[in-house]
Amino acid sequence: MISNVAKDAGGMKKDLILVCIDSPCSLKVENVKALLEVETTVSLQQQQLHFNGIVMKNSDRLSLIGVRDGDMVMMVPAASASRPAPNDLRMNSDGSAVNPGAFQQKIRQDSQMMAQLLQNDPSLAQAILGDSLDNLQNLLKERHQQKLVLRRKQEEELALMYADPFDVEAQKKIEAAIRQKGIDENWEAAIEHNPEAFARVVMLYVDMEVNGVPLKAFVDSGAQSTIISKQCAERCGLLRLLDQRYRGIAVGVGQSEILGRIHVAPIKIGHLFYHCSFTVLDAPNMEFLFGLDMLRKHQCIIDLKENVLRVGGGEVSVPFLQEKDIPSHIRDDERLAQQAPLGQVSAPGTSGSGDKTANVPAQAQSSGATQITNTQGVDFEAKISKLVELGFDRQAAMQALRLFNGNEEQAAGYLFGG
């Protein structure tokens, strides 16, 4: 089958080994490699056979790829075949590798360098050990940019050291550099001593039933009223109880419509039932928010040590949900990022002493508190009429009531004092 295997004088394998094939018949390439493993001690997995400049696959049959009696086949050990040319290890100006495959293989073969990378730069080490060359190239570019920024920063610091002490602009830059250095040191200290501060905080959710319908309730002690969305109220069969006299518009950077109130409905926490009232909003990004009014009414305790919500002074305890148990549409990072901070929504109450307020998400992309005020309630309009009868301008009466969250006595005092 194999009539001759070219070796050097010492009997050691050459990088290129010529093999003379006799009577190729219909054998597969992998059979030839098995015979060569015995002759050359090069394992089958490390062999690469070439015929007329073409790499032969293990599944190929010699007769089908044109190997004839007496033809020469070249066997290249894998170590030689995979040795990258010097030019293959060059880097582009953006920090990426000219030949990322050769670069990856070179680093993989250097055990000492891989050990250093695993210790000092695990993400780059994982990219080199991974299968995606695109990820490797992107990470190499990122590391190159970081080096450029660091070098530029060092050059600026060096220039400031020799700057004219009477140059006002230079002194401002030195002051900014000192301040930034303090910030960086504070950040490094936080990374070392308080790394959990950089993790995403999972909000507090518990399992509840509203009118017999199970849902995930967001527990928010910073919200003054309990809120339910129109869609959730409809799913729970409560929309028929909506009191539209409490309608309004929640106005902020964006706006949400206050549809009214549901004065009482049963909720089940654990194995016990409780009475609850809701403010209904047309807010698709918020389903059910268990606010401070019901937390106080039912003497709830947010126990973060045991990670439970205790209701009724402790007669019922329900665990806060883990992140994996919160539906994806609730914990979706992109959706949470698009929600503005909570603002205040005023809804008219049944008494004249003041209106209850609740925090609701405003549909906005900017930060800062958003003041949201109801201007369409029946009681609110009645209070405006009373102040107008006292001789005040209607617009001034409305502004005063908004300023004091609907308290007509304080608004009247403010107007008389003005």
Nearest-CA neighbor of 136 among 145, 125, 147, 146? 125
Check: CB of residue 285 under 8 Å from CB of residue 361: yes
Nearest-CA neighbor of 198 among 207, 189, 206, 210? 189
CATH class of domain segment(s) 379-417: mainly alpha
Residues 151 and 159: their CA atoms lie apart, in Å, by: 12
Residues 257 and 363: their CA atoms lie apart, in Å, by: 11
Spell out the domain ranges in the chain.
Answer: 2-81, 89-197, 207-376, 379-417
Single-letter code of the amino acid located at 83: R
Residues 400 and 412: their CA atoms lie apart, in Å, by: 8
Phi-psi region of 66 (alpha: psi -120 to 50; beta: other; left: phi over 0): left
Check: CB of residue 19 under 8 Å from CB of residue 48: no
Check: CB of residue 404 under 8 Å from CB of residue 411: yes
Write out the chain's pLDDT in tens, 418 residues: 555 555 443 444 445 666 666 665 667 888 888 887 777 777 777 788 887 777 888 888 877 777 777 777 777 776 544 455 555 567 888 888 888 888 888 888 888 888 888 888 888 888 888 888 888 888 888 888 888 888 888 888 788 778 888 888 888 888 888 898 899 889 888 888 888 777 778 889 999 999 999 999 999 888 878 889 999 999 999 999 999 888 876 554 456 778 899 999 999 999 999 999 998 988 777 789 999 989 999 999 999 999 999 998 888 999 999 888 888 777 654 454 444 444 344 444 333 333 333 333 333 333 333 333 444 455 777 888 888 877 788 878 887 887 777 777 777 777 776 5
Structure tokens at 405: 């969250």
For residue 164, CA distances in Å to 104, 160, 176 come to 48, 8, 16
Check: CB of residue 205 under 8 Å from CB of residue 216: yes
CATH class of domain segment(s) 207-376: mainly beta
Q: How far apart are the first and last CA of the chain?
A: 112
Helix (H, G, I), strand (E, B) or coil at 50: strand
Structure tokens at 90: 């060059």
H and E: helices and strands count for the chain:
14, 18
The CATH number of the domain covering residues in 2-81: 3.10.20.90
**R_g of the chain, CA atoms, integer Å:** 37
Q: Catalytic residues, which ones?
A: 220
So what's the pLDDT on residue 347? 41
| 379-417 has the same fold as 207-376 | no
